[in-house]
Amino acid sequence: MDAAGRFLARTRFGTRESNSPQATIVRIIEAIRAIEGETAQPIQAIGIGCTGPVDPLTGVIGAVDLLPGWQGTPLVEILAEAFHVPAAIENDADAGALGEWQLWRDDRFLFVSVGTGIGAGLILNGTISRGVDGSHPELGHHTIDASGPPCYCGARGCWESLASGTAMARHFGEGATPAEEIFARARRGDAEARQAVERQAYYLGLGVANLMTILCPGRIVLGGGVLESADLLMDGIQTVIQNQCGLVPTHRMDVAVSKLGSDAVLAGAARLAVNAWQQQEAS
Ligand SMILES: [Zn+2]
């Protein structure tokens, strides 16, 4: 991506076949070199959006479930040294939030990504809002129903356990029909699937309503794979918000659907790179 936010080239590869961090890092470096060749432009900075926990202050990967063996890997330092450029990393929900924020620019901006899990990032005055020691507040894991299903976060009935695409599929049964298949069936008029979509909108709405009451953002943007069927969900979500948020000015809080879709994290990572480059130039 260039400094104006235009995508110049893209590439992708899976990480499963090369599980070790060392082998994967070699592939990442090769991929970046290939991009340099393709665009005939030297890389000037590197931004990374990664499933958490990651430490944005040190650039070190934490105990990420999906990346066994990576804990303690100083990915930012490794890539910065390999290319002699500044680099930065954020939790993918925060990167997605930053990417999407660039298109909206609200002072209090909340991004929620609903896919296999639920991740969310809050952008205040253009800056990612962090917790203590740079930690990432896990808004997708606040409890909605204490008698709900157990989650790996330790809670029962947290938002992710009830309203993620995975939760939707699990609840539907029939050998865990994927969420997109449930939406497709609902579109064809399948009564059971329609009920599942209604339930999904309800639980999504509860979490959104809680965040509106707690944070009063000027805008909430909903993204991720599940929101590709936003047309089937938004009315239900709005109904819950109207029923739940009696004490805050919901008419001043716009709830919108992501404009970037699956490119949000990529766009945010590119913004991190630009920020890292600007910081280096300024120092
Ligand atoms: Zn949870």
CA of residue 213 to ligand 1 center, whole Å: 20
pLDDT in tens, 135-166: 999 999 999 999 999 999 999 999 999 999 99
Domain for residue 271, yes or no? yes
Residues with Cβ–ion distance below 5 A, ligand 1: 141, 151, 153, 155, 158, 160
Q: Is residue 80 located within the same domain as residue 118? A: no
Give residue 15's pLDDT: 74
Distance CA 179, CA 238 (A): 21
Query: Domain check: are 69 and 150 in the same one?
Result: no
Say what the pLDDT of residue 68 is.
86
Whether 2 maps to a domain, the answer reads: no
134 and 77, same structural domain?
A: no
Residues 268, 242 share a domain = no
Does the pLDDT at position 17 exceed 60? no
In a domain, 6, yes or no: no
Distance 140 CA to ligand 1 centre (A): 7
Question: What are the tens digits of pLDDT across the range 156-205?
Answer: 999 999 999 999 999 998 667 899 999 999 999 999 999 999 999 999 99
pLDDT confidence of residue 128: 97
pTM value?
0.94
Q: Percent of the chain at pLDDT above 70?
A: 98
- First CA to last CA distance, the chain: 23
Closest of 199, 164, 189, 191 to residue 179, by C-alpha: 164
Question: Within a domain: residue 141?
Answer: yes
What CATH number has the domain bearing residue 278? 3.30.420.40
Query: What's the CA-to-centroid distance between 18 and ligand 1, angstroms?
Result: 29
Same domain for 86 and 175: no
Kindly state whether residues 249 and 125 are assigned to the same domain: yes
Q: For residue 145, how far is its CA from the centre of ligand 1 (angstroms)?
A: 11
Residue 118 alpha carbon to ligand 1 centre in Å: 9
Centre of ligand 1 to C-alpha 1, Å, is 34
59-117 pLDDT, tens digit each: 999 998 888 899 999 999 999 999 999 999 999 999 999 999 999 999 999 999 999 99
Query: Is residue 16 in some structural domain?
Result: no
> Which structural domain range is residue 70 located in?
21-95+263-282
109 and 156 share a domain?
Answer: yes
| CA–CA separation, 136 and 113 (whole Å) | 14
Same domain, residue pair 39 and 116: no
Residues 83 and 118 in one domain: no
What is the average per-residue pLDDT within 109-128? 97
Structure tokens at 237: 């979500």
In a domain, 5, yes or no: no
Are both 111 and 167 inside the same structural domain?
yes
Q: Which two tokens stand for residue 241?
A: 């918000």
Averaged pLDDT, 129-136: 94
> What pLDDT, on a 0 to 100 scale, did the predictor assign at position 18?
54
Asked if residue 119 is part of any domain, the answer here is yes
Are 115 and 63 within one domain? no
Residues 108, 214: one domain? yes
User: What is the tally of structural domains in the chain?
Assistant: 2
